Structure 1
């Protein structure tokens, strides 16, 4: 199990959060344990929690059109998930499944929103750090997608990819 000190020092989500700010954030958080095999989040459902793994490991899985699931990545201690639905209500884009016994800390949106409205600096730091995490993930996904399209060797697919990227980064109109 990770300590509060480890959360502050080693979890990107809490970079620059002071011990007092961390205590305030954690006073609004919940903890829960999941056995290996438990589905923590289900793709398509919607919950508004920001999840931090204290111990154990999880897989992020995406449902394929044939009904199978594809593992996208593994998450270990100090990893976060659920941030997209946390900040913008929407169905989860993937499922998260415990592959070992897992202990998590989760922050409910309603509690976090109250901290933001009260101007709690620790909450604002978490928002800033989440933007950094999501930017890194988007950059990685962009690189991976570009490499995948380029490897197809199809001029048509390559043109479609560049058009999509242009829309994504300019007018956001689809």
Structure 2
């Protein structure tokens, strides 16, 4: 059950809240039924995500639930430091946060409960686009990642594969 489900250029986005915090953002297929926000926080999250779809430079000021391990939170903080329109590889992000493991960084990216707000789509494989939300191969999730990167790209600094 979502507290809101909104339209996105690539399908839908589900929003879950709990207490005073955002608990999860989920990419959903277009045929998913929309759900009007059922509270102030869900409405705020829906509005901020919709604003991002119109303007890739829009920021977020949502209270996030304190989820994840200390390592995951380090990775997610590192992701938040990547500017819109820029990308890092899993290995580059690992070095930035003081880790030796690109694979562990990739796992933490896939475990991110707040995509878009914590823009894990900005982290790619050294050999291409990489997976997304623990989904490899072609399909819906990689198409979402491609859309998000293209939306943020103001110059042709990277090639979408």
Decide: shared fold, TM above 0.5: no
Tell me the TM-score range normalised by the shorter chain. Answer: under 0.3
Higher helix share: 1
- TM-score scaled to structure 1, two decimals? 0.25
User: Quick one: higher RCO (CA 8 Å, sep 6+), 1 or 2?
Assistant: 1
Higher strand share: 1
- TM-score scaled to structure 2, two decimals? 0.26
